[in-house]
Structure 1
Protein backbone atom coordinates (compact mmCIF):
# COMPACT_ATOMS: atom_id res chain seq x y z
CA UNK A 1 0.00 0.00 0.00
CA UNK A 2 1.00 3.60 -0.58
CA UNK A 3 -0.25 5.81 2.26
CA UNK A 4 -0.19 9.59 2.39
CA UNK A 5 0.86 11.20 5.67
CA UNK A 6 0.47 14.79 6.84
CA UNK A 7 2.05 16.22 9.96
CA UNK A 8 0.16 19.51 10.11
CA UNK A 9 1.99 21.76 12.53
CA UNK A 10 1.23 25.31 13.50
CA UNK A 11 4.43 26.59 11.89
CA UNK A 12 5.36 23.82 9.41
CA UNK A 13 3.56 21.15 7.37
CA UNK A 14 5.34 17.90 6.54
CA UNK A 15 3.80 15.67 3.89
CA UNK A 16 5.06 12.27 2.91
CA UNK A 17 4.20 8.86 1.56
CA UNK A 18 5.01 5.51 3.08
CA UNK A 19 3.90 1.92 3.41
CA UNK A 20 2.26 -0.35 5.97
CA UNK A 21 5.66 -1.23 7.45
CA UNK A 22 6.12 2.34 8.65
CA UNK A 23 8.73 3.21 6.04
CA UNK A 24 8.70 6.83 4.85
CA UNK A 25 9.45 6.71 1.13
CA UNK A 26 9.32 10.41 0.31
CA UNK A 27 8.61 13.70 2.06
CA UNK A 28 8.34 17.45 1.64
CA UNK A 29 7.93 20.30 4.11
CA UNK A 30 6.69 23.85 3.79
CA UNK A 31 5.61 26.75 5.97
CA UNK A 32 2.11 26.78 7.46
CA UNK A 33 0.35 29.76 5.91
CA UNK A 34 -3.35 30.36 5.17
CA UNK A 35 -5.45 27.20 4.74
CA UNK A 36 -5.96 27.74 1.02
CA UNK A 37 -2.28 28.25 0.28
CA UNK A 38 -1.07 25.52 2.60
CA UNK A 39 -3.55 22.84 1.53
CA UNK A 40 -2.94 23.59 -2.14
CA UNK A 41 0.71 22.67 -1.64
CA UNK A 42 -0.35 19.44 0.06
CA UNK A 43 -2.80 18.60 -2.73
CA UNK A 44 -0.15 19.29 -5.37
CA UNK A 45 2.24 16.96 -3.54
CA UNK A 46 -0.16 14.03 -3.19
CA UNK A 47 -2.01 14.25 -6.52
CA UNK A 48 0.37 12.03 -8.49
CA UNK A 49 1.42 9.69 -5.66
CA UNK A 50 -1.40 7.13 -6.02
CA UNK A 51 -2.20 7.17 -2.32
CA UNK A 52 -4.74 4.62 -1.06
CA UNK A 53 -5.42 6.55 2.14
CA UNK A 54 -4.25 9.70 3.90
CA UNK A 55 -3.52 10.15 7.59
CA UNK A 56 -3.56 13.64 9.08
CA UNK A 57 -2.05 14.53 12.44
CA UNK A 58 -3.09 18.14 12.96
CA UNK A 59 -2.39 21.00 15.32
CA UNK A 60 -5.51 21.92 17.24
CA UNK A 61 -7.87 22.20 18.84
CA UNK A 62 -9.78 20.06 16.36
CA UNK A 63 -13.23 18.44 16.26
CA UNK A 64 -12.87 14.66 16.66
CA UNK A 65 -16.56 13.83 17.14
CA UNK A 66 -17.60 11.59 14.23
CA UNK A 67 -21.27 12.32 14.95
CA UNK A 68 -20.76 16.07 14.68
CA UNK A 69 -21.38 18.00 11.44
CA UNK A 70 -18.15 19.81 12.28
CA UNK A 71 -16.04 16.64 12.44
CA UNK A 72 -12.68 17.24 10.82
CA UNK A 73 -12.69 20.98 11.46
CA UNK A 74 -10.01 22.98 13.22
CA UNK A 75 -11.82 24.81 16.02
CA UNK A 76 -10.59 27.61 18.31
CA UNK A 77 -6.98 27.94 17.23
CA UNK A 78 -5.56 31.47 17.25
CA UNK A 79 -3.74 30.61 14.00
CA UNK A 80 -5.02 33.23 11.50
CA UNK A 81 -7.52 31.81 9.01
CA UNK A 82 -7.60 28.31 10.48
CA UNK A 83 -10.36 28.68 13.07
CA UNK A 84 -13.40 26.77 11.80
CA UNK A 85 -11.54 25.41 8.76
CA UNK A 86 -12.91 22.13 7.35
CA UNK A 87 -9.58 20.33 7.05
CA UNK A 88 -10.89 16.82 6.32
CA UNK A 89 -13.66 18.09 4.05
CA UNK A 90 -11.23 19.94 1.81
CA UNK A 91 -8.93 16.93 1.54
CA UNK A 92 -11.88 14.66 0.69
CA UNK A 93 -12.82 16.96 -2.17
CA UNK A 94 -9.49 16.14 -3.80
CA UNK A 95 -8.88 12.57 -2.65
CA UNK A 96 -11.78 10.06 -2.47
CA UNK A 97 -9.85 7.69 -0.19
CA UNK A 98 -10.10 6.83 3.51
CA UNK A 99 -8.79 9.70 5.63
CA UNK A 100 -7.60 9.28 9.21
CA UNK A 101 -7.67 12.42 11.34
CA UNK A 102 -6.39 13.11 14.84
CA UNK A 103 -4.24 15.51 16.80
CA UNK A 104 -0.59 15.69 15.85
CA UNK A 105 0.46 14.41 19.25
CA UNK A 106 -2.07 11.55 19.28
CA UNK A 107 -0.67 10.61 15.89
CA UNK A 108 2.86 10.62 17.30
CA UNK A 109 1.70 8.39 20.16
CA UNK A 110 0.18 5.95 17.67
CA UNK A 111 3.35 5.92 15.59
CA UNK A 112 5.41 5.04 18.66
CA UNK A 113 2.97 2.23 19.52
CA UNK A 114 3.13 0.82 16.00
CA UNK A 115 6.85 1.08 15.35
CA UNK A 116 8.65 2.85 18.20
CA UNK A 117 9.23 3.22 21.92
CA UNK A 118 5.81 1.87 22.94
CA UNK A 119 5.71 -1.05 20.51
CA UNK A 120 3.92 -4.02 22.06
CA UNK A 121 2.25 -1.91 24.76
CA UNK A 122 -1.48 -1.20 25.00
CA UNK A 123 -0.97 2.00 26.97
CA UNK A 124 1.32 5.05 26.74
CA UNK A 125 1.40 8.82 26.97
CA UNK A 126 3.28 11.02 24.51
CA UNK A 127 4.24 14.62 25.29
CA UNK A 128 5.52 17.04 22.70
CA UNK A 129 7.28 20.09 24.12
CA UNK A 130 8.06 22.66 21.47
CA UNK A 131 6.24 25.75 20.26
CA UNK A 132 3.42 24.51 22.49
CA UNK A 133 2.92 21.55 24.78
CA UNK A 134 0.66 18.72 23.60
CA UNK A 135 -0.27 15.36 25.06
CA UNK A 136 -1.37 12.23 23.21
CA UNK A 137 -2.92 9.31 25.08
CA UNK A 138 -3.11 5.70 23.92
CA UNK A 139 -5.01 3.60 26.45
CA UNK A 140 -6.35 0.04 26.42
CA UNK A 141 -5.40 -0.32 22.77
CA UNK A 142 -6.89 2.89 21.34
CA UNK A 143 -6.33 6.62 21.08
CA UNK A 144 -8.28 8.67 23.62
CA UNK A 145 -10.50 11.56 22.56
CA UNK A 146 -13.35 11.97 25.05
CA UNK A 147 -15.22 15.28 25.12
CA UNK A 148 -12.74 16.85 22.70
CA UNK A 149 -9.21 15.43 22.99
CA UNK A 150 -6.49 15.57 25.66
CA UNK A 151 -5.19 19.09 26.28
CA UNK A 152 -2.58 18.25 28.88
CA UNK A 153 -0.44 21.21 27.87
CA UNK A 154 -2.85 23.45 29.74
CA UNK A 155 -2.85 21.76 33.12
CA UNK A 156 -1.93 24.06 36.00
CA UNK A 157 1.34 23.53 37.84
CA UNK A 158 2.89 24.72 41.06
CA UNK A 159 5.37 27.52 40.46
CA UNK A 160 9.06 27.00 40.87
CA UNK A 161 10.11 28.97 43.98
CA UNK A 162 12.54 31.12 41.95
CA UNK A 163 10.34 31.69 38.89
CA UNK A 164 8.91 35.20 38.51
CA UNK A 165 7.89 34.78 34.88
CA UNK A 166 4.18 35.49 34.39
CA UNK A 167 3.64 32.85 31.68
CA UNK A 168 2.75 33.13 28.01
CA UNK A 169 -0.52 31.22 27.54
CA UNK A 170 -3.20 33.65 26.24
CA UNK A 171 -5.89 31.63 28.04
CA UNK A 172 -4.28 30.61 31.33
CA UNK A 173 -1.04 32.53 31.71
CA UNK A 174 1.04 30.17 33.81
CA UNK A 175 -0.24 26.74 32.78
CA UNK A 176 2.28 24.09 31.72
CA UNK A 177 2.48 25.41 28.15
CA UNK A 178 2.65 29.00 29.37
CA UNK A 179 5.66 28.18 31.54
CA UNK A 180 7.47 25.35 29.76
CA UNK A 181 6.97 25.63 25.97
CA UNK A 182 9.84 26.86 23.83
CA UNK A 183 8.56 30.45 23.51
CA UNK A 184 8.20 30.65 27.31
CA UNK A 185 11.84 29.61 27.75
CA UNK A 186 12.91 32.28 25.26
CA UNK A 187 10.75 35.01 26.81
CA UNK A 188 11.85 34.19 30.37
CA UNK A 189 15.61 34.12 29.66
CA UNK A 190 15.85 36.51 26.70
CA UNK A 191 17.37 33.99 24.26
CA UNK A 192 16.24 30.80 22.55
CA UNK A 193 16.71 27.65 24.57
CA UNK A 194 19.25 26.38 22.04
CA UNK A 195 21.50 29.28 23.06
CA UNK A 196 21.50 28.39 26.77
CA UNK A 197 24.30 26.20 28.20
CA UNK A 198 23.36 22.75 29.46
CA UNK A 199 24.10 23.73 33.06
CA UNK A 200 21.84 26.84 32.95
CA UNK A 201 19.15 27.22 35.62
CA UNK A 202 16.56 27.16 32.83
CA UNK A 203 16.77 23.38 32.54
CA UNK A 204 16.27 22.73 36.26
CA UNK A 205 13.19 24.95 36.09
CA UNK A 206 11.94 23.27 32.93
CA UNK A 207 12.34 19.84 34.52
CA UNK A 208 10.47 21.05 37.61
CA UNK A 209 7.38 21.88 35.54
CA UNK A 210 7.51 18.86 33.25
CA UNK A 211 8.18 16.53 36.18
CA UNK A 212 5.04 17.76 37.95
CA UNK A 213 2.92 17.20 34.85
CA UNK A 214 4.30 13.73 34.25
CA UNK A 215 3.84 12.71 37.88
CA UNK A 216 0.23 13.85 37.56
CA UNK A 217 -0.39 11.86 34.41
CA UNK A 218 1.18 8.77 36.01
CA UNK A 219 -1.24 9.09 38.93
CA UNK A 220 -4.23 9.75 36.67
CA UNK A 221 -3.70 7.34 33.76
CA UNK A 222 -1.03 4.90 34.93
CA UNK A 223 0.67 4.70 31.51
CA UNK A 224 3.09 1.88 30.80
CA UNK A 225 5.53 4.31 29.15
CA UNK A 226 5.94 8.08 28.93
CA UNK A 227 7.52 9.42 25.73
CA UNK A 228 8.87 12.98 25.54
CA UNK A 229 9.35 14.54 22.10
CA UNK A 230 9.41 17.98 20.51
CA UNK A 231 12.12 20.55 19.99
CA UNK A 232 12.69 21.38 23.65
CA UNK A 233 13.44 17.72 24.37
CA UNK A 234 16.40 17.86 22.00
CA UNK A 235 18.09 19.16 25.16
CA UNK A 236 19.06 15.66 26.29
CA UNK A 237 20.21 16.91 29.70
CA UNK A 238 16.52 17.34 30.56
CA UNK A 239 15.79 13.61 30.76
CA UNK A 240 17.71 12.83 33.98
CA UNK A 241 16.44 16.05 35.55
CA UNK A 242 12.82 15.22 34.70
CA UNK A 243 13.17 11.66 35.99
CA UNK A 244 14.51 13.02 39.27
CA UNK A 245 11.58 15.44 39.60
CA UNK A 246 9.07 12.68 38.87
CA UNK A 247 10.63 10.40 41.46
CA UNK A 248 10.56 13.18 44.05
CA UNK A 249 6.98 14.17 43.24
CA UNK A 250 5.68 10.58 43.53
CA UNK A 251 7.73 10.00 46.69
CA UNK A 252 7.47 6.22 46.49
CA UNK A 253 3.68 6.17 46.22
CA UNK A 254 3.52 4.34 42.87
CA UNK A 255 5.51 1.35 44.06
CA UNK A 256 6.25 -0.47 40.81
CA UNK A 257 9.67 -1.40 39.38
CA UNK A 258 9.11 0.88 36.38
CA UNK A 259 9.02 3.90 38.71
CA UNK A 260 11.28 2.77 41.53
CA UNK A 261 14.00 1.08 39.50
CA UNK A 262 13.65 1.69 35.75
CA UNK A 263 12.79 5.33 35.09
CA UNK A 264 15.52 5.42 32.44
CA UNK A 265 13.47 3.05 30.31
CA UNK A 266 10.07 4.36 31.43
CA UNK A 267 10.46 8.08 30.61
CA UNK A 268 12.12 8.06 27.20
CA UNK A 269 12.58 9.97 23.95
CA UNK A 270 10.66 8.81 20.87
CA UNK A 271 12.37 5.89 19.13
CA UNK A 272 11.17 7.28 15.82
CA UNK A 273 12.88 10.60 16.53
CA UNK A 274 11.77 13.38 14.21
CA UNK A 275 9.76 10.83 12.21
CA UNK A 276 7.30 10.23 15.07
CA UNK A 277 4.69 12.65 13.76
CA UNK A 278 4.89 11.58 10.12
CA UNK A 279 4.95 7.88 10.99
CA UNK A 280 1.99 8.53 13.27
CA UNK A 281 0.08 10.10 10.40
CA UNK A 282 0.98 7.06 8.32
CA UNK A 283 -0.49 4.86 11.06
CA UNK A 284 -3.68 6.97 11.01
CA UNK A 285 -3.99 6.35 7.28
CA UNK A 286 -3.57 2.60 7.76
CA UNK A 287 -6.09 2.73 10.60
CA UNK A 288 -8.58 4.48 8.28
CA UNK A 289 -8.19 1.75 5.65
CA UNK A 290 -8.86 -0.94 8.22
CA UNK A 291 -11.95 0.89 9.40
CA UNK A 292 -10.91 0.97 13.05
CA UNK A 293 -13.04 3.10 15.36
Structure 2
Protein backbone atom coordinates (compact mmCIF):
# COMPACT_ATOMS: atom_id res chain seq x y z
CA UNK A 1 0.00 0.00 0.00
CA UNK A 2 1.18 3.52 -0.80
CA UNK A 3 0.94 6.38 1.68
CA UNK A 4 1.16 10.15 1.82
CA UNK A 5 4.00 11.52 3.93
CA UNK A 6 4.25 14.69 5.97
CA UNK A 7 7.22 16.51 7.47
CA UNK A 8 6.54 19.42 9.78
CA UNK A 9 10.11 20.64 10.07
CA UNK A 10 10.52 22.76 13.16
CA UNK A 11 13.53 24.31 14.79
CA UNK A 12 13.00 22.10 17.85
CA UNK A 13 11.57 18.94 16.31
CA UNK A 14 10.64 17.32 13.02
CA UNK A 15 7.16 15.81 13.20
CA UNK A 16 6.79 13.11 10.56
CA UNK A 17 3.61 11.25 9.68
CA UNK A 18 2.15 8.91 7.09
CA UNK A 19 -1.52 8.70 6.13
CA UNK A 20 -3.77 6.69 3.84
CA UNK A 21 -5.79 7.93 0.88
CA UNK A 22 -8.42 9.44 3.20
CA UNK A 23 -5.61 11.24 5.08
CA UNK A 24 -6.16 9.15 8.18
CA UNK A 25 -2.84 9.17 10.07
CA UNK A 26 -1.31 5.71 10.30
CA UNK A 27 1.79 6.67 12.29
CA UNK A 28 3.25 9.92 13.60
CA UNK A 29 6.58 10.50 15.33
CA UNK A 30 8.63 13.40 16.68
CA UNK A 31 12.36 13.66 15.97
CA UNK A 32 14.61 16.20 17.75
CA UNK A 33 16.10 18.77 15.36
CA UNK A 34 19.85 18.38 15.71
CA UNK A 35 22.17 18.57 12.69
CA UNK A 36 20.72 18.24 9.19
CA UNK A 37 22.53 14.94 8.62
CA UNK A 38 21.46 13.34 11.89
CA UNK A 39 17.90 14.61 11.67
CA UNK A 40 17.38 13.42 8.09
CA UNK A 41 18.87 10.04 8.92
CA UNK A 42 16.08 9.57 11.47
CA UNK A 43 13.51 10.86 8.98
CA UNK A 44 14.72 8.25 6.47
CA UNK A 45 14.47 5.51 9.10
CA UNK A 46 10.84 6.41 9.76
CA UNK A 47 9.71 6.66 6.13
CA UNK A 48 11.75 3.58 5.19
CA UNK A 49 8.98 1.38 6.56
CA UNK A 50 6.46 2.82 4.10
CA UNK A 51 6.03 3.22 0.36
CA UNK A 52 5.34 6.90 -0.22
CA UNK A 53 3.46 8.32 -3.21
CA UNK A 54 3.87 12.01 -2.30
CA UNK A 55 5.33 14.13 0.48
CA UNK A 56 4.31 17.47 1.98
CA UNK A 57 6.91 19.57 3.79
CA UNK A 58 6.20 22.58 6.00
CA UNK A 59 9.48 24.02 7.22
CA UNK A 60 10.67 26.58 9.75
CA UNK A 61 12.20 29.53 8.03
CA UNK A 62 12.94 31.79 6.50
CA UNK A 63 12.84 29.51 3.45
CA UNK A 64 13.05 30.12 -0.29
CA UNK A 65 9.69 29.46 -1.95
CA UNK A 66 10.33 31.23 -5.28
CA UNK A 67 10.68 28.48 -7.88
CA UNK A 68 12.72 30.81 -10.11
CA UNK A 69 15.39 31.29 -7.46
CA UNK A 70 18.65 29.34 -7.54
CA UNK A 71 18.13 28.67 -3.83
CA UNK A 72 14.55 27.39 -4.12
CA UNK A 73 14.00 24.82 -1.40
CA UNK A 74 16.64 26.20 0.95
CA UNK A 75 16.30 27.18 4.58
CA UNK A 76 18.00 30.56 4.32
CA UNK A 77 18.86 33.04 7.08
CA UNK A 78 17.72 31.06 10.10
CA UNK A 79 19.54 31.57 13.42
CA UNK A 80 19.21 27.81 14.06
CA UNK A 81 22.82 26.54 14.32
CA UNK A 82 23.83 24.31 11.44
CA UNK A 83 20.73 24.98 9.32
CA UNK A 84 21.57 28.27 7.62
CA UNK A 85 21.57 27.92 3.81
CA UNK A 86 20.65 24.21 3.96
CA UNK A 87 19.03 22.82 0.80
CA UNK A 88 16.38 20.83 2.64
CA UNK A 89 14.09 20.28 -0.34
CA UNK A 90 17.05 19.19 -2.48
CA UNK A 91 18.15 16.70 0.16
CA UNK A 92 14.64 15.24 0.28
CA UNK A 93 14.39 15.02 -3.51
CA UNK A 94 17.62 13.04 -3.58
CA UNK A 95 16.06 10.56 -1.17
CA UNK A 96 12.51 10.34 -2.51
CA UNK A 97 11.64 10.25 -6.21
CA UNK A 98 8.06 11.40 -5.62
CA UNK A 99 6.10 14.66 -5.83
CA UNK A 100 7.02 16.96 -2.91
CA UNK A 101 5.03 20.03 -1.81
CA UNK A 102 7.16 22.72 -0.16
CA UNK A 103 6.01 25.62 2.04
CA UNK A 104 6.43 27.11 5.50
CA UNK A 105 5.26 25.36 8.65
CA UNK A 106 2.70 28.07 9.36
CA UNK A 107 1.41 28.09 5.78
CA UNK A 108 0.88 24.35 6.09
CA UNK A 109 -0.98 24.84 9.37
CA UNK A 110 -3.14 27.57 7.83
CA UNK A 111 -3.97 25.27 4.91
CA UNK A 112 -4.82 22.37 7.20
CA UNK A 113 -7.04 24.48 9.43
CA UNK A 114 -8.86 26.10 6.51
CA UNK A 115 -9.72 22.84 4.78
CA UNK A 116 -10.02 20.44 7.69
CA UNK A 117 -10.26 22.48 10.89
CA UNK A 118 -11.52 25.80 12.24
CA UNK A 119 -11.57 27.45 8.82
CA UNK A 120 -13.86 24.96 7.09
CA UNK A 121 -16.56 26.54 4.92
CA UNK A 122 -14.31 29.54 4.23
CA UNK A 123 -12.04 30.41 1.32
CA UNK A 124 -9.67 32.63 3.28
CA UNK A 125 -8.09 32.51 6.69
CA UNK A 126 -5.00 33.47 8.65
CA UNK A 127 -3.26 31.10 11.04
CA UNK A 128 -0.99 32.70 13.61
CA UNK A 129 1.13 30.66 15.99
CA UNK A 130 2.24 32.35 19.20
CA UNK A 131 4.92 30.48 21.08
CA UNK A 132 8.71 30.63 21.24
CA UNK A 133 8.35 32.80 18.14
CA UNK A 134 5.42 34.21 16.21
CA UNK A 135 4.67 33.16 12.66
CA UNK A 136 1.68 33.40 10.39
CA UNK A 137 0.36 31.89 7.21
CA UNK A 138 -2.52 32.98 5.02
CA UNK A 139 -4.84 31.20 2.62
CA UNK A 140 -6.54 33.48 0.09
CA UNK A 141 -9.17 32.19 -2.34
CA UNK A 142 -8.26 28.66 -1.29
CA UNK A 143 -4.54 29.04 -2.06
CA UNK A 144 -1.53 29.56 0.20
CA UNK A 145 -0.39 33.19 -0.04
CA UNK A 146 3.14 33.92 -1.14
CA UNK A 147 4.88 36.40 -3.42
CA UNK A 148 8.62 36.76 -3.99
CA UNK A 149 8.81 35.12 -0.57
CA UNK A 150 6.46 33.94 2.16
CA UNK A 151 4.75 36.14 4.77
CA UNK A 152 6.66 36.98 7.96
CA UNK A 153 3.69 38.06 10.04
CA UNK A 154 5.54 37.84 13.33
CA UNK A 155 7.89 40.65 12.39
CA UNK A 156 5.45 43.43 11.57
CA UNK A 157 6.12 46.66 13.46
CA UNK A 158 3.71 47.46 16.28
CA UNK A 159 3.12 50.54 18.39
CA UNK A 160 4.18 49.98 21.96
CA UNK A 161 1.76 49.62 24.82
CA UNK A 162 1.77 52.71 27.04
CA UNK A 163 4.99 52.96 29.05
CA UNK A 164 6.25 49.61 27.79
CA UNK A 165 10.03 49.82 27.98
CA UNK A 166 10.81 46.14 27.39
CA UNK A 167 13.93 45.50 25.36
CA UNK A 168 12.75 43.48 22.36
CA UNK A 169 13.67 39.80 22.38
CA UNK A 170 14.02 39.89 18.58
CA UNK A 171 17.64 40.38 17.50
CA UNK A 172 16.53 42.14 14.31
CA UNK A 173 13.77 44.56 15.37
CA UNK A 174 13.12 46.80 18.37
CA UNK A 175 9.36 46.99 17.92
CA UNK A 176 8.15 43.87 16.16
CA UNK A 177 5.31 41.64 17.27
CA UNK A 178 7.55 38.64 17.99
CA UNK A 179 10.03 40.67 20.00
CA UNK A 180 7.31 42.11 22.23
CA UNK A 181 4.70 39.34 22.45
CA UNK A 182 6.23 35.89 21.88
CA UNK A 183 6.83 33.51 24.78
CA UNK A 184 10.36 34.80 25.55
CA UNK A 185 8.99 38.35 25.83
CA UNK A 186 6.36 37.18 28.31
CA UNK A 187 9.04 35.50 30.39
CA UNK A 188 11.36 38.51 30.15
CA UNK A 189 8.60 40.80 31.42
CA UNK A 190 7.69 38.64 34.41
CA UNK A 191 10.55 36.26 35.12
CA UNK A 192 8.03 33.44 34.82
CA UNK A 193 7.22 31.17 31.87
CA UNK A 194 3.85 32.01 30.33
CA UNK A 195 2.20 28.70 31.20
CA UNK A 196 2.94 29.33 34.88
CA UNK A 197 1.52 32.86 35.05
CA UNK A 198 -1.73 33.54 36.88
CA UNK A 199 -4.66 34.32 34.59
CA UNK A 200 -5.25 37.66 36.35
CA UNK A 201 -1.65 38.88 35.87
CA UNK A 202 -1.43 42.38 34.37
CA UNK A 203 0.88 41.14 31.61
CA UNK A 204 -2.01 39.50 29.77
CA UNK A 205 -3.49 42.92 28.98
CA UNK A 206 -0.20 43.88 27.33
CA UNK A 207 -0.11 40.59 25.44
CA UNK A 208 -3.67 41.01 24.22
CA UNK A 209 -2.94 44.57 23.09
CA UNK A 210 -0.05 43.52 20.87
CA UNK A 211 -1.79 40.50 19.40
CA UNK A 212 -4.97 42.48 18.74
CA UNK A 213 -2.95 45.23 17.05
CA UNK A 214 -1.43 42.63 14.74
CA UNK A 215 -4.84 41.11 13.98
CA UNK A 216 -6.14 44.59 13.17
CA UNK A 217 -3.35 45.07 10.63
CA UNK A 218 -3.92 41.64 9.06
CA UNK A 219 -7.64 42.36 8.90
CA UNK A 220 -7.15 45.72 7.20
CA UNK A 221 -4.74 44.29 4.61
CA UNK A 222 -6.23 40.85 3.86
CA UNK A 223 -9.80 40.83 5.22
CA UNK A 224 -9.72 37.10 6.01
CA UNK A 225 -12.96 35.31 6.78
CA UNK A 226 -11.40 33.85 9.93
CA UNK A 227 -8.30 34.30 12.08
CA UNK A 228 -7.09 31.15 13.83
CA UNK A 229 -4.65 31.36 16.74
CA UNK A 230 -2.44 28.49 17.87
CA UNK A 231 0.86 27.82 19.60
CA UNK A 232 1.84 27.42 23.22
CA UNK A 233 0.87 30.90 24.40
CA UNK A 234 -2.63 30.54 22.98
CA UNK A 235 -3.24 27.51 25.16
CA UNK A 236 -3.99 30.25 27.69
CA UNK A 237 -7.60 30.36 26.49
CA UNK A 238 -8.47 33.31 28.75
CA UNK A 239 -6.50 35.42 26.24
CA UNK A 240 -9.13 35.05 23.50
CA UNK A 241 -11.79 37.36 24.98
CA UNK A 242 -9.10 39.91 25.89
CA UNK A 243 -7.79 39.88 22.31
CA UNK A 244 -11.28 40.21 20.83
CA UNK A 245 -12.10 43.15 23.11
CA UNK A 246 -8.82 44.90 22.33
CA UNK A 247 -9.27 44.29 18.59
CA UNK A 248 -12.70 45.90 18.70
CA UNK A 249 -11.33 48.90 20.61
CA UNK A 250 -8.35 49.42 18.32
CA UNK A 251 -10.37 49.12 15.12
CA UNK A 252 -13.04 51.45 16.44
CA UNK A 253 -16.04 51.44 14.15
CA UNK A 254 -14.01 51.82 10.95
CA UNK A 255 -14.48 48.22 9.80
CA UNK A 256 -17.55 46.13 10.46
CA UNK A 257 -16.28 42.74 11.61
CA UNK A 258 -18.07 39.41 11.73
CA UNK A 259 -19.09 38.14 15.15
CA UNK A 260 -15.76 38.24 16.99
CA UNK A 261 -16.28 34.89 18.73
CA UNK A 262 -16.48 33.32 15.28
CA UNK A 263 -13.81 35.54 13.72
CA UNK A 264 -10.91 35.11 16.18
CA UNK A 265 -10.79 31.45 17.18
CA UNK A 266 -8.51 28.68 18.34
CA UNK A 267 -7.34 25.88 16.09
CA UNK A 268 -9.54 22.77 15.75
CA UNK A 269 -6.73 20.42 14.76
CA UNK A 270 -4.56 21.18 17.78
CA UNK A 271 -0.99 19.99 17.36
CA UNK A 272 -1.92 18.33 14.05
CA UNK A 273 -2.65 21.54 12.11
CA UNK A 274 0.69 21.52 10.29
CA UNK A 275 0.74 17.77 9.77
CA UNK A 276 -2.73 17.70 8.22
CA UNK A 277 -1.88 20.67 6.03
CA UNK A 278 1.26 18.92 4.78
CA UNK A 279 -0.66 15.72 4.05
CA UNK A 280 -3.31 17.63 2.14
CA UNK A 281 -0.66 19.51 0.14
CA UNK A 282 1.08 16.19 -0.60
CA UNK A 283 -2.13 14.71 -1.95
CA UNK A 284 -2.77 17.76 -4.11
CA UNK A 285 0.84 17.85 -5.33
CA UNK A 286 0.54 14.25 -6.53
CA UNK A 287 -2.51 15.25 -8.55
CA UNK A 288 -0.53 18.05 -10.20
CA UNK A 289 2.41 15.91 -11.35
Structure 1: gaps of 5 or more residues: none
The residue correspondences of 1:172-251 to structure 2 (distance < 5 A) are 172-251=173-252
Mapped partners of 1:54, 1:138: distance in 2: 20
- Report deviation, 1:22: 3.4
Equivalent-residue separation in structure 1 for 2:19 and 2:182 (angstroms): 31
**8 A contact 1:228–1:267 mirrored in 2:** yes
Distance 2:264 2:21 in 1: 27
Relative distance call for 1:158 and 1:14 in structure 2 (3 A) is same
* Cα pair 1:168 1:174 within 8 Å, conserved: no
> Which residue does the alignment assign to 1:266?
263
Show the counterpart of 1:275. 272
For these two proteins, the number of residue pairs brought into alignment is: 288
Q: Point out where structure 2 has 5 or more consecutive residues left out of the alignment.
A: none
Distance in 1 (alpha carbons) for counterparts of 2:94 and 2:238: 46
TM-score, scaled relative to structure 2 = 0.97
- 1:69 Cα deviation (Å)? 2.2
Match of 1:285 in 2: 282
Question: Residues 199, 39 of structure 1: CA spacing in aligned structure 2 closer, same or farther, 3 A cutoff?
Answer: same
1:273 and 1:49 mapped to 2: Cα distance?
A: 25
Distance 2:120 2:22 in 1: 13
CA-CA distance at 1:21 after TM superposition: 3.1
User: What CA distance in whole angstroms lies between the structure 1 residues aligned with 2:18 and 2:9?
Assistant: 14
User: Could you report, residue by residue, the CA deviation over 1:130-154 in whole angstroms, capped at 9, with x for unpaired residues?
Assistant: 1110010100221111121100100
Q: Distance in 2 between matches of 1:59 and 1:277?
A: 11
Question: How far 1:45 sits from its partner (Å)?
Answer: 0.6
- Map 1:32-111; keep pairs closer than 5 Å: 32-111=33-112
Cα distance in 2, alignment partners of residues 7 and 212 from structure 1: 28
Deviation of the 1:183 alpha carbon: 1.2
Contact 1:207/1:242 (<8 A) preserved: yes
Shift of residue 20 of structure 1? 4.1
TM-fit CA distance, 1:168: 0.6
Q: Deviations over 1:73-114 (max 9, x none)?
A: 001001111111010111111111111110000000110122
Give 1:131's aligned residue. Answer: 132
